[in-house]
Chains A and B, each alone.
Chain A
Amino acid sequence: MSATLSVSVQRGTDGRRIDRFEVPRQPAQTVLDVVTWIQREADPTLAYRFACRVGMCGSCAMTVNGKPRWTCRTRVETVAPDGCLTLEPLRNMPVVKDLVVDMAPFFAKWTAAHGVFTPRENLGADFAVVPPSSPERRAADAAIECIGCGVCYSACDVVAWRSDYLGPAALNRAWTLVNDVRDGHARERLVAVAGDAGCHACHSHGSCTQHCPKSLSPTASIAGLKRAVLRATLRGEL
């Protein structure tokens, strides 16, 4: 193991400028540690984003050696055994500066996919308990741990091909709510995801699932949505 890492960082907004840095290696160093070192010790103008540093907030994702990853939980030794790192912003989102992307369009699609919990009527004044071991709860739990990092969205080729595609994260969220027995907007949600840029645009090639740092399967969620839409269509509801 050499004492330093050779790190190339994409700068600016147009992807043309690449800066190189030599960064000292540390044991158990994460990619986010590397970026932080660069900003503190080498170039304070470097823009990047993070908050929790423990894999909860979903703000630190970047393209690391060509693949989208959460950088706070990515160890350098697992992704750069040869000591070379290339850091770029996430794909499929507008670049604000350097490694920071504008996630507004990404989250706008969550809204478009009706990714908001809407309590059904007559839910009662008390807590609406869905027992953790019940099948309903397990169905809703399957995709609920999403941290909104945008890694799947960045990994999805269909998003790259057609910018209006709702994308894996928004559809994954919609599927969670379709399975939430307390929710009252099932039909509205199915209408929202059954549109032309919705679940049917997915090619099921699983890049989102391959890269999701929370090991979720948006591919399976989208397949679930396709089935739910099909059932509703057969019933004449869509």
Chain B
Amino acid sequence: MTAARLFLLQRASAAVLALAVLVHLATIIIAVRGGLTAGEILGRTSGNVAWLAFYALFVIAAAIHAPIGLRNILREWTGWRGRSCDLAMMLLSAALLALGLRAAWAVYAA
């Protein structure tokens, strides 16, 4: 993938993340302030396709955004470049995706 495409992907995922993080934080604050228990929260999220879709999107954006950014930092600060670095970043992306989607699914299927 070209540097220009990576740049585009990183900016686009950042735009998604900016919104998603706000919604996520607002949800946490509302839930905590409202004194909801874990059980009550799960009661609202389980079976809710909208929450599943939101968190799936959040996870996908993070799995795109974080490895590209980390790759830039590694290239600049450690000089680790080339295929091995790209491969490691792809693995990181896959791990974020798998763990994140698993969590989103768990909240949905609870």
Contact = CB atoms under 8 A, between A and B. Distances in A.
Interface SS majority for chain B: helix
B8 A230 contact: yes
B3 A194 contact: yes
Given A161-B77, A162-B75, A162-B76, A238 B5 contact: yes
Interface SS majority for chain A: helix
Interface in A156-202: 158, 161-162, 194-196, 198, 200-201
Interface residues of A, number: 16
Contacts of B11: 230
Nearest to A196: B3
A236 to B, nearest CB: 10
Interface residues of B, number: 11
B76 A200 contact: no
B76 A158 contact: yes
Max count, chain A CB within 10 A of own CB: residue among B3, B4, B75, B79: B4
A42 interface: no
B4 A201 contact: no
Interface in B1-17: 2-5, 7-8, 11
Contacts of A230: 4, 7-8, 11
Contacts of A233: 2, 4-5, 7-8
A238 B9 CA distance: 13
B2 A238 contact: yes
A89 to B, nearest CB: 24
B20 to A, nearest CB: 22
B32 to A, nearest CB: 36
A238 B4 contact: yes
A129 to B, nearest CB: 33
A190 to B, nearest CB: 8
A31 interface: no
B76 A194 contact: no
A195 B75 contact: no
- Please give me the 3 A-B residue pairs with the lowest Cβ-Cβ distance, nearest first: A194-B4, A238-B4, A233-B4
Interface of A: 158, 161-162, 194-196, 198, 200-201, 226, 229-230, 232-234, 238
18 contacts: A158-B76, A162-B76, A194-B2, A194-B3, A195-B3, A196-B3, A200-B4, A200-B7, A201-B76, A230-B4, A230-B7, A230-B11, A232-B4, A233-B2, A233-B5, A233-B7, A238-B2, A238-B5
